[in-house]
Structure 1
C-alpha cells in the first residue's frame, strides 16, 4: 500500500470517529421535540402570560 494512501486512510478514520463522537454528544444533550407534552407556554405564550398577570393583579 502506498504511504500517502495509508496516511489518508488514517486521517479519514480519525475524522470519521471525531464526527461520530460530536454527533453523539450533541444528540445526548437534546430531546426529541415530540417527547415533550403540549405545554401552555409552547401553545400560546402570550395568552398564558396575560392570564398569569391578571391573576397576580387581583
Structure 2
C-alpha cells in the first residue's frame, strides 16, 4: 500500500468513528415516539391547558 492509501483509510476510519459517536449521542437524548403511549392530551389538546 502506498502512503496516500494509508492516510485515506485512517481518515475514513476516524470520520466513521466520529459519525458513530454522534449517532449514539443523539439517540441517548431522544425517545422513540412509539414508546410513549397515546395520551389523550397529546391526541386532542384541550383549551384549559393554557
* Deviation of 1:37 (Å): 1.9
Count, aligned residues: 49
* Structure 1 moving runs of 4+ over 2 Å: none
TM-score (normalised: structure 2)? 0.86
Match in the other structure for 2:41: 41
TM-score (normalised: structure 1)? 0.75
Structure 1 unaligned residues grouped into runs of 5+: 54-58
Superposition RMSD on alpha carbons, in Å?
1.3
Structure 2 unaligned residues grouped into runs of 5+: none
Match in the other structure for 2:16: 16
- Residues 25-49 of structure 1 deviation map (CA, whole Å, 9 limit, x = unaligned): 000101111110212221012xx22
